[in-house]
Amino acid sequence: MFFSLNDFTHEGGGTIRMQGIMNELSKKGHEVIFISNTRKQSLFHEKIRHVAIEFPFSRKDKRIFQGLLGILPLFVIRIVYSKFFNRLKDVLAGQFDKEPIYFFEYLDNSVGYCLKKSGMIQDYINDLHGVATLEFKFQSDHAKSVSEKIKFYLKYLISDLLDRKVFNGAKGLIFASQAMKDYFCGYYPEITAKKNYILPYVLSSDAVSDVVDYELKKQLESKFSILPNEKIIFFAGAFKKTGGITDLIAAFASIVSKHHCRLFLLGDGPTMIECRALTEELGLTDKVVFIGRTPYHHLRTYQDLASVIVCPDKQNVYSELIIHVKYLDALLSGKIVINGSFKSVQEVNVNEFLSVNFTPSSVESLSSALSYSLQNHDLLEEKYKNSRVYAAKALTYASHVAVLEE
């Protein structure tokens, strides 16, 4: 039994993980019940039973709810959000209180805590999809002004208080790697004795089956005026502080005069304005293309435009603990992939078996990796020609969900 307030109108790492886990369990014959806000039941296996919450939460609502829960007692939260909890009481109606419910995302994790403490469910198990606490700490440590540093440090403190509440109340936790489990058990020793699982961030079967839409590719080549001998450096993902996109733009600026190439950036997010400003500052507006968001099932076609795909994440604790979905998606492209040498990635990319490494947060190292990949394109293309096959066999939820069946 699973729960999420996500409406699935925007595709991303979180929605891919939820679909992957539930669909594979359903395919194996398990009864899967999904209590959610989803508007797209077609994304899920036909045998999954859907229970509609029909209570949308905006991004602002999520931040306020979690911030208040971090610093205020639950009874106050129940009063402030009485309509929400009354709706959940109606949805649950005592029929889902005999076994733990799995809560997927950061907001969902907090709701699980509230429902258990309110006696509306028996137990909850949280999947640690994203860890805002680590991101706030990163933003505080790297803030350029005192006011920004204070703002993010206060967010970090509140988020830490929330994590302690939510983690302590859970029956168990799902970690994305052994390194992630070790980190959190070291930071929150009280969770060590819980029923914990390790389920990596891997690929869904749908992603593996996606193919290039050659008609769309032809249209894109025309739209972006891509020449036959032009090399396209490609990024797809969220524009955020830890994402390293400004590093990628700076690294690209240092090599663009030596190669016939352009940089395509697919996605959006909080640092989009900063990235556009840096592009203008460096005089690269004719060399950097901001594509924006696109449907996930079109990603494979956009990737096929590329000569090299880059995952430029900065050095941060979270990336050391998990493999980002964008890296796995990149491997499926069959293209040359550049990724930071994080511990999590090194577990699968032994001796650069699957991709080219660079030192995270080092523009110089990323520049070198870009030049190396462009100069040795044919050689590396041959070296990594089987990366897609390996990822499709070894890095999917079909081969990992067994841990939840135990």
249 and 113 together in one domain: no
In a domain, 401, yes or no: no
Mean pLDDT of 329-343: 94
Is residue 155 located within the same domain as residue 71? yes
Structural domain that includes position 153: 2-199
Q: What is the pLDDT of residue 97?
A: 64
41 Cβ contact partners less than 8 Å away, ≥ 6 residues apart: 50
- What pTM value is reported for the model? 0.78
Q: Parallel, antiparallel, or unpaired for β 101-103 and 2-4?
A: parallel
- Could you tell me the pLDDT band of residue 177, with boundaries at 50, 70 and 90? confident
Residue 329 in tokens: 């998606």
Domain for residue 403, yes or no? Answer: no
Angle between helices 325-332 and 13-27 (to 10 degrees): 70
pLDDT in tens, 6-55: 999 887 778 889 999 999 999 999 999 999 999 999 999 999 999 999 99
Please tell me the predicted confidence (pLDDT) of residue 130.
58
Residue 287, classed as helix, strand or coil, is coil
Are residues 195 and 209 both part of a single domain? no
Looking at the structure, do residues 256 and 157 belong to the same domain, yes or no?
no
The residue out of 199, 234, 252 marking a domain boundary is 199
Least confident of 31-40, 282-291, 317-326: 317-326
- Counting the structural domains of the chain, the total is 2
How far apart are the C-alpha atoms of 150 and 158, rounded to whole Å? 12
Integer CA distances (angstroms), 208 to 203, 316, 339, 360, in order:
7, 28, 20, 28
State percent of the chain over pLDDT 70.
98
The CATH number of the domain where 213 resides is what?
A: 3.40.50.2000
Q: Residue 98 pLDDT > 80, yes or no?
A: no
Asked whether residue 378 is assigned to any structural domain, the reply reads yes
Q: Specify whether 165 is located in the same domain as 279.
A: no
One domain, residues 320 and 235: yes
Q: Is residue 365 part of a domain?
A: yes
Do residues 148 and 228 share a domain?
no
User: Quick check: is 400 in a domain?
Assistant: no
Q: How many CB atoms lie within 10 A of CB 265?
A: 25
d(CA 81, CA 69): 11
Question: Does 211 lie in the same domain as 162?
Answer: no
Across 376-397, average pLDDT = 93
pLDDT value of position 316: 85
Mean pLDDT of the region 227-234:
95
Residue 227 and residue 195 share a domain = no
Please report whether residue 404 resides in a domain: no
- d(CA 347, CA 342) in angstroms, rounded, equals 9
Of 153, 180, 199, the last residue of a domain is: 199
User: What spatial distance separates the first Cα and last Cα of the chain, rounded to whole Å?
Assistant: 15
180 and 226 part of one domain: no
- Co-location of 6 and 98 in the same domain: yes
Average pLDDT of every residue of the chain: 92
* Listed residues 168, 199, 230: the one ending a domain: 199
Does residue 406 lie in a domain region? no
Averaged pLDDT for residues 82-95: 90
Domain match, 21 and 131 both:
yes
**Domain-embedded: residue 227:** yes
pLDDT of residue 205: 80
Q: What mean pLDDT do residues 207-235 have?
A: 94
> At 317, is the secondary structure helix, strand, or coil?
helix
Please tell me the least confidently modeled range out of 160-169, 178-187, 351-360.
178-187
The whole-angstrom separation of Cα 113 and Cα 118 is 9
Check pLDDT > 80 for residue 206: no
* CA angle, residues 260, 243, 24, in degrees to nearest 5: 105
